Amino acid sequence: MQIYSNAKIVDPEKGKVFTGNIAVSEGLIVEVSRNRIESSDNSVVIDCGSHFLAPGIVDFGVKIGEPGERHKESFRTAGLAAAMGGVTSMITRPDTSPSIDNPETLEFFTKRAHSATEIRIYPMATLTKQRLGEQMTEISLLLDAGAVGFTDCDSFIVNSKVMAHCLEYCSQNKALVIGHPQDPWLSGGASATSGKFATLKGLEGVSPIAERMGLERDLSLVELTGAGYHADQVTTRAGLDVLEESIGKGHNVSAGISVHHLTLNDLDVGEYRTFFKIKPPLRSEEDRCHVIEGLKRGVITIVCSMHTPQDEESKRKPFDEAASGAVGLQTLLPAILRLYHSGELDLPLIFKTLSYNPAQRFGLNAGKMSKGCQADFVLFDPNYPFILDRATLASKSKNTPFDGQTLQGRVLKTIVGGKIVFSQD
């Protein structure tokens, strides 16, 4: 047995922080108590030194370069970055090369994952073959092989009939469909959000309405089919409005957002800094404030890093030619803590969106500080200040927009199934 003593326990489920102790046995939480837990001879006591102990982060939408782009990220490096960032579970994207669209590839993927990292991997598979939006994948077989969700990632399924069929079939199989709601025509060719900044910089912009249109299409089909649907990122007020309406009607709908959209805005691109080029593009400050409100109201429920490693070469280009995406496993926690330090979010809510909600949505036994839950924790100091040097990131790719910025908060220990996979000292 292990005993985590003297911890400020962040319980997102009950929405509170209290000083207490947690006992772990065989990888599961066996007791959570405000009082001292009696230790037996063979139990190990881990003194948390009055630091915060929260459920390990369940990061949705992590892109691992395997198979196909191992030069950008491997399971080993992603796992290392996750451990250092307090991420204990990664829900991975299937937009690999080749994409994960059949059980055999998924099995290979899972096998590689287990041999290379101790961080838990929950893979998603594609909704259609090769993400072409034409032929549905073998949903049931993929579920058997361990897929936790189905998504074509940033490739929007244009054919509404195909999407409707996918949703119907997934609904029957109780499989969750994840959409990337962007009208593909309106957003085509854009590298920024339309507005004064994009106009001044001569960048092709896309209106936030493209997000609403994509969402409206998908949510209409959800209404038609009754499927479970999660929008990977809702980043604008326009999108938030239709999402809220659909939730209000009682549909099985949820949405997430990347920490980048919560903490940065379109002006941060500055002089064409390509590390700030992400999908969808960074939004206006007004939209950023709206989505934070949406998070507080519980309309947006999941915050993720949308970890997207890109090699140096693909970012060393003019802005419109450069690849999109940012790494985030290691910066997710300190980045969202900006909203804690600014007084906008409290710690239980932060871990509700980072751990509890994604675990619930994807049916994982994680994200809780209660008996029977997997003992996945992050022990952290939210106040520790540092200046991020991207060279120090464990990811193979170093494309972070937070390079050179002051962040606050660092992970002291990361625990997966009762095993310490990272320790600061």
Partner 1 sequence: MNLNRQSVKQSTELGGKTQINIFFENSTRTQASFELAGKRLGADVMNLGVNTSSVGKGETLIDTALTLNAMKPDILVIRHPSSGAANLLADKVHCSVINAGDGTHEHPTQALLDALTIKRRRKTLAGLKIAICGDIKHSRVARSNILLLGKMGNLVRLVGPRTLMPSQIHELGVEIYHDLEDGLRGVDVVMMLRLQHERMTGSLIPSVREYYKTYGLNFEKLQAAKKDAIVMHPGPMNRGIEIDGNLADDINRSVIQNQVEFGVATRMAVMCLLCQDT
The footprint of partner 1 (CB under 8 A) covers: 189, 194-196, 198-205, 207, 271-272, 313, 316-321
What is the greatest pairwise CA distance in the chain? 69
Closest distance to partner 1 from the beta carbon of 205 (Å): 6
Enumerate residues 6+ apart whose C-beta is below 8 A from 33: 20, 21, 22, 23
Nearer to partner 1, 119 or 203 (CB): 203
As measured in angstroms, the least distance from the Cβ of 230 to partner 1 is 30
> Which H or E element spans position 314?
helix 312-315
Q: How far is the CB of 202 from partner 1 (least distance, A)?
A: 3
Q: Which is nearer to partner 1, 37 or 203 (CB)?
A: 203
Per-residue tokens: 214: 């994509």
Q: Which is nearer to partner 1, 92 or 193 (CB)?
A: 193
Nearer Cβ to partner 1, position 285 or 321?
Answer: 321
- H or E element in which residue 77 lies: helix 75-84
Kindly list the distances between the CA atom of residue 284 and the CA atoms of 143, 184, 267, 296, in Å, as whole numbers in the listed order.
39, 20, 8, 19
Which CB sits closer to partner 1, 293 or 313? 313
Query: Containing H/E element for 292?
Result: helix 285-296
- Compute the distance between CA of residue 204 and CA of residue 194 in angstroms, rounded to an integer: 7
Pick the closer one to partner 1 by CB: 101 or 287: 287
Q: How many whole angstroms separate alpha carbon 158 and alpha carbon 274? A: 28
- What's the min distance (Å) between Cβ of 217 and partner 1? 20
The least CB distance from residue 212 to partner 1, in Å, is 16
- Torsion, Cα 133 138 144 147, to 10 degrees, reads -10
The least distance separating partner 1 from the CB of residue 323, rounded to whole angstroms, comes to: 12
